[in-house]
Structure 1
């Protein structure tokens, strides 16, 4: 079985999901966008998306997802930088961030 670092380096994409209280959504969005701008400035090939689950009640916590991809895949250093920057706005989230790595299996 390949090591986790080998999997991360082989063209994989990162999907990071977490919960945001509805009352903090605007603040979280602004903080996430600032973080994404900093990441893109450091790596112009990095493609980032910020998604929100569409079936959440207006008063409930929202489920958000960040996606990261780039030619050659994400690596452990990028994932560490993402998490380091995300700490700055941890108070905008409820609970932990969860990271999953996927590789394309068909085109």
Structure 2
């Protein structure tokens, strides 16, 4: 088992959130999954999750979040590739994607 210090120093994780119109959720999910498959094919250590807020009314826009982590952390090159691939399905979103970077601070 790795030490807590190793986990704290393992690097940055990316959290990217955005809005998806209720009428486009299926198309957005399919497009995001295709993008995630391409990213995982290029980096087998990349861990990706796709989340959505659980308290959104069925008729409202949904807030979605993608999370990215890998040993050594997420770097600028990976973030640029993610955003480049995400442009292909910009029409499935309403508004911009927002990226936050976090690092572990406790185990």
Same fold (TM over 0.5): yes
The 3-state SS of whatever aligns with 2:25 is: helix
Contact 2:8–2:105, Cα closer than 8 Å, also in 1: no
Contact 2:8–2:104, Cα closer than 8 Å, also in 1: no
Once the two structures are superposed, residues 35-60 of structure 1 have per-residue CA deviations (whole angstroms, 9 ceiling, x without a partner) of 00000000000000000000000000
Shift of the 62–71 alpha-carbon distance from structure 1 to 2, 3 Å rule, reads: same
**TM (normalized to structure 1)?**
0.91
| Structure 1 moving runs of 4+ over 3 Å | 1-10
The 3-state SS of whatever aligns with 1:77 is: helix
Once the two structures are superposed, residues 65-102 of structure 1 have per-residue CA deviations (whole angstroms, 9 ceiling, x without a partner) of 00000000000000000000000000000000000000
Contact 1:5–1:76, Cα closer than 8 Å, also in 2: no
* Number of residue equivalences: 107
Unaligned runs of 5+ in 1: none
Once the two structures are superposed, residues 19-42 of structure 1 have per-residue CA deviations (whole angstroms, 9 ceiling, x without a partner) of 000100000000000000000000
97-106 or 5-14: bigger deviation: 5-14
Shift of the 86–9 alpha-carbon distance from structure 1 to 2, 3 Å rule, reads: farther
Unaligned runs of 5+ in 2: none
The root-mean-square deviation of aligned C-alpha atoms, in Å, is 5.4
